Amino acid sequence: MGRGRFVDEDPLTLALAPPAGETPEQRQVREAAEAEAKRRSDEIDEQIKREKDGEKRKKKPVKLLLLGQSESGKTATLKNFQLTYARREWSEERASWRAVIWLNLVRNVNEILDHLNQEMSESSYLPSVAEPQSDASSDELHVVRKSRTLPPLQYNERHRLLKLRLTPLAQVQADLEVKLGAAATEEYRTPVTKAAPFDPPSKRRALPEFSINSSNGWKSAFDKFRTLRAPRSGSEAGVPRPAKDSEDEIGEVLSGCREDIKAIWDDEIVREMLIRRKVRLEDRPGFFLNDIDRVAVPSYQPTDDDVIRARLRTLGVQEYRFVFDHGRTAGQEWRLYDVGGTRSSRAAWYPYFDDADAIIFLAYLAEDNRVNRLEDSYLLWRSVCSCKALARTQLILFLNKCDLLQAKLQRGIRIRDSVPSFGDRKNDLATATKYFQQHFKEMLRQHSPVQRTFFVYLTSVIDTRSTAITLGAVEESILREHLRCADLM
Ligand X SMILES: Nc1nc2c(ncn2[C@@H]2O[C@H](COP(=O)(O)OP(=O)(O)OP(=O)(O)O)[C@@H](O)[C@H]2O)c(=O)[nH]1
- Measured from the CB atom, is 216 or 427 closer to Mg ion? 216
Phi-psi category of residue 244: left, alpha or beta, with phi > 0 → left and psi -120 to 50 → alpha: left
The item of ligand X, Mg ion, none sharing an interface with residue 276, based on CB under 5 to 8 Å by kind, is none
Whole-angstrom distance, CA of residue 70 vs CA of residue 377? 10
Alpha carbon of 486 to those of 58, 59, 423: distances in Å?
Answer: 6, 10, 46
* CB-nearer residue toward Mg ion: 96 or 246: 96
Q: Which residues bind Mg ion (CB under 5 A)?
A: 74-75, 314
Q: What are the residues binding ligand X (CB under 6 A)?
A: 68, 70-76, 285-286, 308-309, 311, 313-314, 340-342, 400-401, 403-404, 460-462
User: What's the min distance (Å) between Cβ of 364 and ligand X?
Assistant: 8
Q: Choose the contact partner of 419 out of Mg ion, ligand X, none; CB within 5 to 8 A by kind.
A: none
Q: CB of residue 316 vs ligand X: minimum separation in angstroms? A: 10
Cα 12 to Cα 30: distance, rounded to the nearest angstrom: 17
- In whole angstroms, the minimum distance from the beta carbon of 226 to Mg ion comes to 21
Half-sphere exposure of 261 (CA within 13 A, CB side): 26
Q: Which does 448 bind (CB under 5 to 8 A by kind): ligand X, Mg ion, none?
A: none
Nearer to ligand X, 276 or 309 (CB): 309
Closest contact distance (angstroms) between CB of 311 and ligand X is 3
Report in angstroms how near the CB of residue 311 gets to Mg ion at its nearest.
9
- Find which of ligand X, Mg ion, none residue 260 binds, CB within 5 to 8 Å per kind: none
Residue 415 interface partner, choices ligand X, Mg ion, none, CB cut-off 5-8 Å depending on type: none
d(CA 18, CA 28): 11
Cβ proximity to Mg ion, 362 vs 479, nearer residue: 362
Cβ distance to ligand X smaller for residue 100 or 419: 100
Residue closer to ligand X, measured from CB, 360 or 415: 360
Q: Which does 217 bind (CB under 5 to 8 A by kind): Mg ion, ligand X, none?
A: none
**Closest distance to ligand X from the beta carbon of 400 (Å):** 5
Smallest gap, in angstroms, from Cβ of residue 66 to ligand X?
8
**What Å distances lie between residue 151 and 89, 160, 265, CA to CA?**
54, 20, 21
Residue nearest to ligand X (CB): 341
Min dist. Cβ of residue 364 to Mg ion (A): 12
Q: Which is nearer to ligand X, 289 or 308 (CB)?
A: 308
Q: Cα 182–187–189 angle (5° rounding)?
A: 135
Rounded to a whole number of angstroms, the minimum distance from the CB of residue 169 to ligand X is 20
**134 φ/ψ sector (left φ>0, alpha ψ -120 to 50, else beta):** beta
- Of the pair 296, 336, the CB lying nearest Mg ion is at 336
In the list Mg ion, ligand X, none, the entry touching 311 (Cβ below 5 to 8 angstroms by class) is ligand X
The contacts of residue 200 (CB under 8 Å, 6+ apart) are 350, 387, 389
Q: Which is nearer to ligand X, 125 or 378 (CB)?
A: 378
CA distance 210 to 187: 12
195 makes contact, choosing from Mg ion, ligand X, none, with CB < 5 to 8 Å by partner type, with: none
Pick the closer one to ligand X by CB: 73 or 251.
73
Find the shortest distance in angstroms from Cβ 347 to ligand X.
14
Task: Give which of ligand X, Mg ion, none residue 93 binds (C-beta under 5 to 8 Å, depending on kind).
Answer: none
User: 71 touches which of ligand X, Mg ion, none (CB within 5 to 8 A by kind)?
Assistant: ligand X
| CB contact set of 445 (below 8 Å; sequence gap of 6+) | 451
